[in-house]
Structure 1
Amino acid sequence: MLPLRKAVLSSAPLLLALLLPALALAQHSHNEELVDSGMSGMDAAPESPAELAPDAPPSYWMHPERVSMVYAHIALSILAWVIVMPLAVMLSIARSKLKVVAQFAFVVVNALCVFTGILYNTSTPDLYENNSHHKAGWIISLIATGWAVMGLITLYSDSKSDRTHQYRPLLQPVTQQAMEEYDQFNGQKPEDLRWSGDSGQGTERNTNSLCHSSRSNSWNSETGSFPTHHNQEPYPDVDDEPEDTLEKRRIVPYAAVDGFLSKHIPRYASGVTLKAFDILYATLTRFQVIMGFVALMTGMVTYGGIARDNNVFTVLAHFIKGGIFFWYGLLALGRWMGCFSDFGWAWNSKPGAEIVGKGKARMPSAEFSESFLIWLYGVTNVFLEHLGAWGGEWSATDLEHVSITIMFAGGGMLGMLIESTTVRKLLAASFSTPERQTEGWKQPDTYKHSMNPIPALIIMLLGKMMSSHTQHSATSGMIHSQWGNLFMMGSLARGATYIIMWLKPPTGYLPSRPPSELIASFCLVSGGMLFMASNGDTVVALESYNLDAMFIYTVVMGLTSALMAWEVIVIAFKGWAVKRGQNISAVSALAPVA
């Protein structure tokens, strides 16, 4: 299963900590300015949010009691799910033993988060009855805790095989005669040999760096052969290791617990059971950040007191659709960094089956996947746009929304047909025959890479439609215009990517990293967050506190910048974990047996 390197990374929930408190701070500052300038027309500015919105239902945001406790709950939620969890996921994907440390840290921080939430709930009235955050929070926290326990089990199930394999030599012992024959065949002298993993910088013979970093498999100038310490003794049995060696390999610092786990887990975790367990663990690993996103979004809704009664459908639709574009933007940034390069999705040449395996080689292109999602959205929503007024008359707005879903269904189908290899062969059947297999009939290099602008075109048209769509208020119209324009900018940036790829198609397996994709990612992430915030309840809240559309626009731009930077750090952290594991494995394999 391909590591979900993008992390993946649900930092958008930073809105939970920054947006709502920022609203209160901004309003407080605004009130002070009105009082100081004498423009408020009143003797004093309102002192509480409830006075600003007297008709609004009570919410935790406006509740004046235990404010510091709920802020602590929010801060711990972000620390657990935005900071610690992505790092733990990356360590788990990299199969690093440090994953247990990160997972334990997450469990501790999340437990503190749940504890502060319980204290806050017991000391305040229930201002949002039957809210989804309480239920989702418990379920997601239990799943995440179980995932951490599974991480410890997988570490023990792999430890015995890892310890056995580390005694296998990387190079078999080579005799003097064999080396002389090899040197004669290649025209090399023993003194010209150098470790293949050495860069050659500062490691020439008789230099300090060479003396201080000797390799066990380097050429021995005195004996004229490679060291043969691997054959001096038979491979030791793992169970017969000395106590001091086992002490160094101990995972849990308590000998009794470590011994019990080391003895029983490998016994039961084997064969089909182990394979099923690994699949379940890998699946949970790749969905942890998504679950954190759900927990934080439901928390934000509950804290703000929005999405009540029938409004829940409108708010839910905005959060789902905006969340899709948000994650789409994070995926675009991940592709730019090199994620999914073995699928050929990182703007690189797709590796063959002999390199990545048949399963990954059969994966469709990224444009096919995008077209499929666009088509799926269209066919599933064409009958849902009138759901809010079921049984009533169809309005012009309903017809507009249905037309958009038809555009998605038709555009997605067109994109999939363009990406279909079968369709391409049929299109070329009329002029490509076996008799014409000459140099002039060779396929262009651009045929090897997807150049399908249809998904970007659909998103650009959506942005244009929604930016010009009539809304119930000026603030709502402005926010819709903002994310619509961002979607158009992102689509144009994707078009620039295709122009770059058309002019010079990639020739290697490494990611080409077109700079235009950074702009596309930024526009999609920020546009997705503004899409979520453009629901009617949030707009009413902004207007109630005398805040305009530019306030939330500037907050989202700042969050997007921080978010993308954090994603790059997390993916780079995974690379560090992979490199660290490779270095440890190499040192363990080359170390002489005691």
Structure 2
Amino acid sequence: MDMDSHTHGDMTNTQPVNVSELVPVPHEVHHMHGVPILETELTPAERLFWEAYNTTSYFTIDTPHKTNLYIHLALIYLAYVVMYPLALAVKDTKMFFPALVVQSGVVLVSIANYSIFITTAPDLYPNNAYTKMTSGLAIMVLIHVASAFVYTAKKWLEGPSNTNHMPLPGKDIPLSPMDGYASPSNTLYDPEDHMQRLSDDSFDLESTPGTPHAMEFASAEPQRYNRLLSKIFSYRIVAELVSVFGVVCTFNYHFLNWGMLCYFLIYAPTGVAVLSCIGMNEHVFNLLAHFIKGGVFFSMGIVSLARYCGGWPKMGWAWNKSYISPMEKPTSFLYKIQPKKGMVTMEMLESSLILFYGCTNIFMEHLASPGGEWTAKDLQHVSIAFLYLGAGLCGVIAENKMADWRLEKFNTEFGADFEVDGYRPAHVTPGFSPNPFPAFTIFWTGLLMSQHQQASELSTQVHVQWGSLLTYGSLVRLATFALMMFYPQKSFNPTKPFTELITSFCLLCGGLVFMESTDPVITALEYRGMTPMFTLNVSVGVVALVMAWIMVVFSVRDRYRY
């Protein structure tokens, strides 16, 4: 029907309607409003839908232990948003283990509070994933702490690992505890002063090379903490634990250090959905699609900002030139699998993930109606999967084609006879690859979805918001490539192109708004009368705080580099 709101109101108030024949629908016309939707002019079918809308959630029900829910949320976010990133910033120092113990204690207290709450609350979301993930989190925390204890004991009992120390002609330079990468000396253009990297474990990609082992606690004047560890590790049972479980715990330690952070990035939005009771029944597929896809872009924003702050420089992912020496190659599985003519670039990693996503997403778009006919909406979404499939494959092929270009780029700046301690590097990278396909994919995703008409005006505008943000971010990433190509820096230090700050913001904010654009969230916002600017304003503010905190964490990491 095409009529203005006055006609709509007249129809609602004057014409007799047989309610029993109505099918409740959320929208028959677009409603732009800033008040609860029940206070606006609605058609009979719309009013029937909205009056039946259920706002009950775990936050609104009356329960004797509601306080325990808020304690759980406060502690779990304190543990994984504040405490754990700071612990990772000092991961290869003697402060990490006590920090991990304290953080794990906070997590377990949080989980205990959730258990008290959920066992006394009505089962509003039967068989929900959040409760199961909370139980899994408790188990993983205990395994993580136990593995960290055995790993720390193993390093203590082994003593100073100076056997792996290979001094270079220059002085040793302290390292980044998060990246396992030594900054070059002050003479940025002298490759002889550039530090080599040696891992003491084949899978320990972040131990500190070129210096005495970072976990070495020996000192001229033992501190109280050292004496405590010495007393604990002197027990015979500790040595037996190291002997039996040393290898397994070492693997668990390195895997869970970052695995716990990744787990929380999935755990947090799951909690939002379950505790708010959104995305139930048939709506779960729409919610999952938006949360997963939006979460991917949000995670890309975190990675992009981490690269700007100096993350993963040994692999050249901090927009810096790097190399792997023949002595380093056997020390790490990651080093062994590097391609012959260079190193795995971030562009190759992004293209591979895009290709994988395109392959899997072709069949996921039909999950909401299995066995039914494919609708135009299904086909529209599948066509985007084709975009990811094709662009991802193009990106992978382009990376292989540009292998010679990257090698020549490095040799042009450092010379084909570049050597380290008399050895030619086994692998080199100029720090980037001008591969447009990852940015191309994000650009078209944003552009197509910003034109994606929805059932309500609010949903349409929110899609325009995150679609535009992704489009802007992809264009700025192309500007980064231009800067790196036309203004190259002959340095092994992490490069910090200012354009990446804007790219990170666009990806973070676009991903967050993407997650908010799911139908259950939009319906909840409409019921309460929220306008499109609500999602954008809140998301911009939250993302600014997230970016600031990530940069603070990397500043703490840099503090322990020297």
TM-score (norm 2): 0.72
2:386 aligned residue (403, 406, 411): 406
Cα distance, 1:251–1:163 mapped onto 2, change above 3 Å: farther
Q: Distance in 2 between matches of 1:165 and 1:128?
A: 56
SS for the counterpart of 1:319 is helix
Using the TM superposition, give the Cα deviation of residue 125 of structure 1 relative to its aligned residue in structure 2, in angstroms: 2.1
Structure 2 match to 1:79 = 78
Which 4+ stretches in 1 moved above 6 angstroms?
194-198, 445-448
Establish whether residue 134 from structure 1 lines up as the match of residue 124 from structure 2: no
Q: How does 1:113-512 map to 2 (within 5 A)?
A: 113-162=110-159, 249-252=226-229, 255=231, 257-260=232-235, 263-270=236-243, 274-354=246-326, 357=329, 359-360=334-335, 362=339, 363-421=343-401, 449-512=432-495
Using the TM superposition, give the Cα deviation of residue 273 of structure 1 relative to its aligned residue in structure 2, in angstroms: 5.4
CA contact (8 A) 1:319 1:531 kept: yes
2:517 aligned residue (525, 531, 534): 534
CA contact (8 A) 2:57 2:276 kept: yes
SS for the counterpart of 1:351 is strand
Q: Which moved more, 1:401-410 or 1:108-117?
A: 108-117
Using the TM superposition, give the Cα deviation of residue 551 of structure 1 relative to its aligned residue in structure 2, in angstroms: 1.0
SS for the counterpart of 1:125 is coil
1:191-247 Cα deviation digits (max 9, x unpaired): xxx99999xxxxxxxxxxxxxxxxxxxxxxxxxxxxxxxxxxxxxxxxxx9xx9697
Establish whether residue 111 from structure 1 lines up as the match of residue 108 from structure 2: yes
Cα distance, 1:376–1:497 mapped onto 2, change above 3 Å: same
Q: Distance in 2 between matches of 1:68 and 1:382?
A: 44
Using the TM superposition, give the Cα deviation of residue 69 of structure 1 relative to its aligned residue in structure 2, in angstroms: 3.5
Cα distance, 1:312–1:101 mapped onto 2, change above 3 Å: same
CA contact (8 A) 1:53 1:545 kept: no
Cα distance, 1:335–1:118 mapped onto 2, change above 3 Å: same
Using the TM superposition, give the Cα deviation of residue 331 of structure 1 relative to its aligned residue in structure 2, in angstroms: 0.4
Q: Distance in 2 between matches of 1:59 and 1:483?
A: 27
Using the TM superposition, give the Cα deviation of residue 573 of structure 1 relative to its aligned residue in structure 2, in angstroms: 2.1
Q: Distance in 1 between matches of 2:495 and 2:524?
A: 44
Which structure has more helix as a fraction of its residues? 1
SS for the counterpart of 2:280 is coil
Q: Distance in 2 between matches of 1:348 and 1:113?
A: 41
1:332-371 Cα deviation digits (max 9, x unpaired): 1111111111111111113243485364354411111111
1:172-201 Cα deviation digits (max 9, x unpaired): xxxxxxxxxxxxxxxxxxxxxx99999xxx
5+ residue gaps, structure 1: 1-29, 35-39, 42-51, 172-193, 199-240, 429-436, 438-444, 580-594
Q: Which moved more, 1:471-480 or 1:69-78?
A: 69-78
**Percentage of pairs with the same residue:** 30
Q: How does 1:53-64 map to 2 (within 5 A)?
A: 55-56=53-54, 58-64=56-62
Q: Distance in 2 between matches of 1:54 and 1:355?
A: 69
Cα distance, 1:388–1:577 mapped onto 2, change above 3 Å: same
Q: Distance in 1 between matches of 2:137 and 2:275?
A: 18
CA contact (8 A) 2:144 2:252 kept: no
1:247-285 Cα deviation digits (max 9, x unpaired): 7632459x5x5532xx33334525x95344312210111
Q: Distance in 2 between matches of 1:328 and 1:447?
A: 21
Using the TM superposition, give the Cα deviation of residue 447 of structure 1 relative to its aligned residue in structure 2, in angstroms: 8.2
Q: How does 1:548-559 map to 2 (within 5 A)?
A: 548-559=531-542
SS for the counterpart of 1:420 is helix
Using the TM superposition, give the Cα deviation of residue 403 of structure 1 relative to its aligned residue in structure 2, in angstroms: 1.3
SS for the counterpart of 1:310 is helix
1:309-328 Cα deviation digits (max 9, x unpaired): 12111111111111111111
CA contact (8 A) 1:464 1:484 kept: yes
Cα distance, 1:197–1:108 mapped onto 2, change above 3 Å: closer
CA contact (8 A) 2:321 2:430 kept: no
SS for the counterpart of 1:472 is coil
Q: Distance in 1 between matches of 2:512 and 2:491?
A: 35
TM-score (norm 1): 0.68
